[in-house]
């Protein structure tokens, strides 16, 4: 064999090996060959995700509760570790902003309320990507604000109505409408969480503000006639203020109160005819994160089964999906009427609303 022939053979061998390597790189790992999540994402993403080895997921404390039940299942299935950081969503949002500002991003995937998603999208931190999990299409799209489309995806509702002390208010006197609370008999007997800054108290009042039968007129009348006590505290503190009899009625009520307290505790979750106020919780992949492929595996897995959505609904925020059955019916977001979603142009930039609330309730 002459030198030209030998060189040609060597080149052909190298190209064949290279082609074989490429083919292997495009194949799913044997243990995931028939996995629906792996097949939906494809070999390129799955192999890159396994190489990344971990995903950093930021969310609220309820994200932590979900992971207590589901983390091991995910890690065993894909060989990818979940590192979770949880806490106040306002603080978690600021943490993401800080990481990107100093060019040291840690988070890859997030589970935040839509107003915080809008904030992060506004500074170009969210990747436009749709998880191919098959159950995503079955979640009720009407209750989720997805403007602009394609950046974050529905993962539950933080639904709010009223807490009522059942020892202090007879069932026949439960307010049928929010307007029933604008009555001198309730003066000094209603507690609300502070609506003048980001938090559950503000989001419920913002929903009231955007409701056509309530609006600013209702809020002003509530202040003038009832002068509700403003609580500078958490949802649990608002609940306890009603439970312990400091106030017979409290805003910012959640169906969770029934789940989290002993049976027979003197408190009820009550939804007036105007419906549930709510803010959507959503999932997203962060742009230019260190482990984008693992983040995509995480979100696709999340939306791949009713089992995941059921567990999320039980441990975190309930999802509006026809197959979800909640053990505590008060937590359902489908059995009650719902207010229309707060428009994203308002929810995404609520500072004007906080100023409006300061005009009504005074400067913080």
Is 246 within the bounds of a domain? Answer: yes
Does 133 share its domain with 166? no
CATH of the domain at 267: 3.40.190.10
Closest of 134, 114, 111 to residue 122, by C-alpha: 114
Residue 327 has pLDDT above 90, yes or no: no
Is 19's pLDDT higher than 60? no
- Within-domain flag for 16: no
Report the DSSP beta bridge partners of residue 294: none
* Residue 18 belongs to some domain of the structure: no
Query: pTM of the full predicted structure?
Result: 0.86
Q: Is 73 found in the same domain as 221?
A: no
Domain-embedded: residue 25: no
Domain match, 102 and 229 both: no
Q: Is 351 a member of any domain?
A: yes
Q: 180 near 272, Cβ under 8 Å?
A: yes
In a domain, 76, yes or no: yes
**The pLDDT of residue 321:** 93
**pLDDT tens-digit profile of 259-315?**
888 888 999 999 999 999 998 999 999 999 999 999 999 999 999 999 999 999 999
Measured between alpha carbons, how far is 309 from 153 in angstroms, rounded to an integer?
13
The number of beta carbons lying within 10 Å of the beta carbon of residue 296 is: 24
- The strand pairing partners of 280, in sequence order, are 157
- Which contacts of 201-204 are long-range, i.e. CB under 8 A and separated by 24 or more positions? 201/231, 201/238, 201/251, 201/252, 202/350, 202/353, 202/354, 202/357, 203/113, 203/115, 203/158, 203/160, 203/277, 203/279, 203/342, 204/160, 204/251, 204/252, 204/277
Among the listed residues 140, 87, 81, 135, the one whose alpha carbon sits nearest the alpha carbon of residue 110: 87
The whole domain housing 312 covers 30-157+279-331
User: 307 and 322, same structural domain?
Assistant: yes
**Between residues 197 and 181, which one has the greater pLDDT?**
181
> Are 41 and 131 in a shared domain?
yes
38 and 184 together in one domain:
no
181 with 272, same domain: the answer is: yes
Query: Are 150 and 242 found together in one domain?
Result: no
Residues 350 and 231 in one domain: yes
CA–CA separation, 117 and 148 (whole Å): 11
Residue that the structure tokens 């938090």 belong to: 199
Report if residue 12 sits inside a domain. no
For residue 21, what pLDDT is reported? 45
Q: Is the pLDDT of residue 4 over 90?
A: no
pLDDT at residue number 168: 98
Mark whether 349 and 219 lie in a shared domain: yes
Per residue in 67-76, pLDDT (tens digit) is: 999 999 999 9
When divided into structural domains, the chain yields a total of 2
Task: Inform me whether the pLDDT recorded for 115 exceeds 90.
Answer: no
Amino acid 233: pLDDT: 86
Give the separation between CA 109 and CA 284, rounded to whole angstroms: 6
d(CA 342, CA 350): 11
Is there a single domain that holds both residue 65 and residue 91?
Answer: yes
Q: Compute the distance between CA of residue 138 and CA of residue 141 in angstroms, rounded to an integer.
A: 8
Domain check: are 124 and 204 in the same one? no
Q: Provide mean pLDDT across the span 324-350.
A: 89
Instruction: Evaluate if residue 131 carries a pLDDT over 50.
Output: yes
Specify if 11 maps to a domain: no
Q: What does the pLDDT read at residue 44?
A: 97
Rounded Cα distance between 115 and 125, Å, is 14
Note the pLDDT of residue 124: 96
């Amino acid at each position: 064999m002459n030198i030209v022939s030998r060189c040609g053979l060597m080149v052909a061998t190298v190209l064949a090996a290279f082609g074989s390597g490429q083919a292997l790189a495009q194949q799913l790992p044997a243990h995931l060959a028939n996995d629906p999540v792996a097949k939906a994402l494809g070999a390129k993403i799955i192999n890159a995700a396994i190489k990344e080895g971990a995903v950093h997921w930021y969310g609220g404390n309820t994200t932590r509760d979900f992971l207590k039940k589901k983390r091991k299942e995910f890690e065993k299935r894909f060989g990818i570790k979940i590192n979770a950081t949880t806490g106040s969503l306002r603080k978690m949002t600021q943490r993401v902003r800080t990481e990107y500002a100093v060019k040291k991003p840690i988070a890859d995937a997030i589970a935040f309320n839509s107003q915080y998603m809008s904030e992060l999208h506004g500074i170009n931190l969210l990747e436009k990507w749709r998880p191919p999990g098959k159950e995503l299409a079955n979640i009720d799209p009407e209750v989720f604000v997805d403007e602009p489309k394609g950046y974050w995806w529905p993962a539950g509702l933080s639904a709010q109505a009223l807490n009522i002390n059942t020892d202090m208010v007879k069932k026949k006197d439960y307010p049928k409408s929010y307007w029933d609370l604008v009555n001198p008999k309730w003066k000094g007997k209603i507690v609300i969480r502070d609506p003048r800054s980001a938090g559950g108290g503000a989001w419920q009042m913002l929903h009231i503000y955007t409701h056509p039968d309530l609006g600013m007129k209702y809020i002003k009348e509530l202040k003038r006639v009832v002068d509700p006590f403003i609580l500078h505290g958490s949802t649990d503190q608002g609940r306890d203020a009603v439970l312990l009899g400091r106030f017979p009625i409290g805003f910012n009520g959640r169906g969770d109160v029934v789940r989290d307290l002993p049976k027979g505790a003197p408190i009820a979750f009550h939804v007036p005819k105007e419906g549930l106020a709510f803010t959507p919780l959503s999932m997203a992949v962060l742009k230019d994160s260190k482990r984008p492929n693992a983040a995509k595996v995480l979100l696709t897995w999340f939306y791949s089964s009713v089992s995941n959505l059921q567990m999320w609904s039980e441990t975190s925020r309930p999802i509006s999906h026809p197959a979800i059955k909640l053990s505590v019916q008060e937590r359902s977001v489908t059995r009650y009427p719902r207010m229309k979603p707060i428009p994203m142009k308002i929810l995404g930039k609520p500072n004007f609303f906080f100023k409006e609330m300061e005009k009504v309730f005074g400067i913080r």
